[in-house]
Chains A and B, each alone.
Chain A
Amino acid sequence: EAQVTQNPRYLITVTGKKLTVTCSQNMNHEYMSWYRQDPGLGLRQIYYSMNVEVTDKGDVPEGYKVSRKEKRNFPLILESPSPNQTSLYFCASRRDRKNIQYFGAGTRLSVL
C-alpha cells in the first residue's frame, strides 16, 4: 500500500529542545515536501526536495532544517523550537512535479 509515514503523530516539547520529525515514503518518489497547517493560514510549504541531496526552501523555511540522504526519508529538524512553531505538520511525496501528491497523516507539535 502506498504510504507516507510520519512520526511522531503528537509531540509536546519545550522551547529550545531540538527535535526531529521523521517522514518516510514507500513509493520511490522523487519529490518530497514538508508543510505546516495553521488555522486561517492554510497549508504552507516549509521545504521541498526534488531528489537525494537536493533540497530547497519553501514559503516558510525559517527555524527549520531538512535533509535528504536517502530517497525514501525526509526528516524535518527543529534545532531550537519556539512557541510560534506550534502547528500541524504534514509530509508529502509525489513522483514528479505534475503528479499526485500523497500526504502523511500529520504531526501535531506543541512547543511550550
Chain B
Amino acid sequence: TQLLEQSPQFLSIQEGENLTVYCNSSSVFSSLQWYRQEPGEGPVLLVTVVTGGEVKKLKRLTFQFGDARKDSSLHITAAQPGDTGLYLCAGGGYIPTFGRGTSLIVHP
C-alpha cells in the first residue's frame, strides 16, 4: 500500500493568517485529491491534480502537485473561520490511499 504523510497534523490559527498543508509520499501517484471534512459529515472533494507541477486555484485555496508527482501542497490565503475542518489528501486507484489528515481550526 502506498503511504501518504500529511503535515502538520494539527493547525490552530487566527483569522486572516496564511497556512500551508503538505502531503508527501515516496511513491508516484497518477493523481492526488484534496478533500475537506467537517464534523459529522463525509469528506467533500476540493480538487484533483493530475499533472506534475500543476497548480490549481479555488478562491483562496491554492493546490500544487509536485513535479515528480510524489507530493502536493495546499495553501490557504487569509484563512477564515469557515475554512475550519479536516483536510485530507488521497491518491491511487481502486484502493485509494488517504493521508491521516490535517485538522485546521481558524479562530475569529
Task: Check if B42 sits within 8 Å of A42, measured CB to CB.
Answer: no
- In the complex, what residues of B have CB within 8 A of residue A4's CB? 42
- Find the A residue at minimum CB distance from B50: A98
- Indicate with 1 or 0, residue by residue over A41-59, a CB within 8 angstroms of chain B CB atoms: 1111100101000001011
Task: Check if A97 sits within 8 Å of B93, measured CB to CB.
Answer: yes
- In the complex, what residues of A have CB within 8 A of residue B40's CB? 105-106
Task: Check if A106 sits within 8 Å of B42, measured CB to CB.
Answer: yes
- Find the B residue at minimum CB distance from A31: B94
- Find the A residue at minimum CB distance from B98: A43
- Indicate with 1 or 0, residue by residue over A7-30, a CB within 8 angstroms of chain B CB atoms: 000000000000000000000000
Q: Which residues on A are within 8 Å of B, measured CB to CB?
A: 4, 35, 40-45, 48, 50, 56, 58-59, 90, 92, 97-98, 100-106
- Indicate with 1 or 0, residue by residue over B27-47, a CB within 8 angstroms of chain A CB atoms: 000010100000011111100
Q: How far is the CA of A92 from the CA of B43 in the complex (A)?
A: 10
Number of interface residues of B (CB under 8 A): 20
> Does B101 sit within 8 A of A, measured CB to CB?
yes
Give the interface SS of chain A, mostly helix, strand, loop or mixed: strand
Q: How far is the CA of A29 from the CA of B96 in the complex (A)?
A: 17
Q: How far is the CA of A35 from the CA of B35 in the complex (A)?
A: 15
Q: How far is the CA of A68 from the CA of B61 in the complex (A)?
A: 38
> Does B99 sit within 8 A of A, measured CB to CB?
yes
Task: Check if B94 sits within 8 Å of A43, measured CB to CB.
Answer: no
- Find the B residue at minimum CB distance from A9: B40
Q: How far is the CA of A4 from the CA of B44 in the complex (A)?
A: 12
- In the complex, what residues of A have CB within 8 A of residue B96's CB? 45, 101
How far apart are A23's CB and chain B's nearest CB, in angstroms? 11
Q: How far is the CA of A92 from the CA of B93 in the complex (A)?
A: 14
- In the complex, what residues of A have CB within 8 A of residue B95's CB? 45, 48, 58-59
- In the complex, what residues of B have CB within 8 A of residue A101's CB? 33, 45, 96
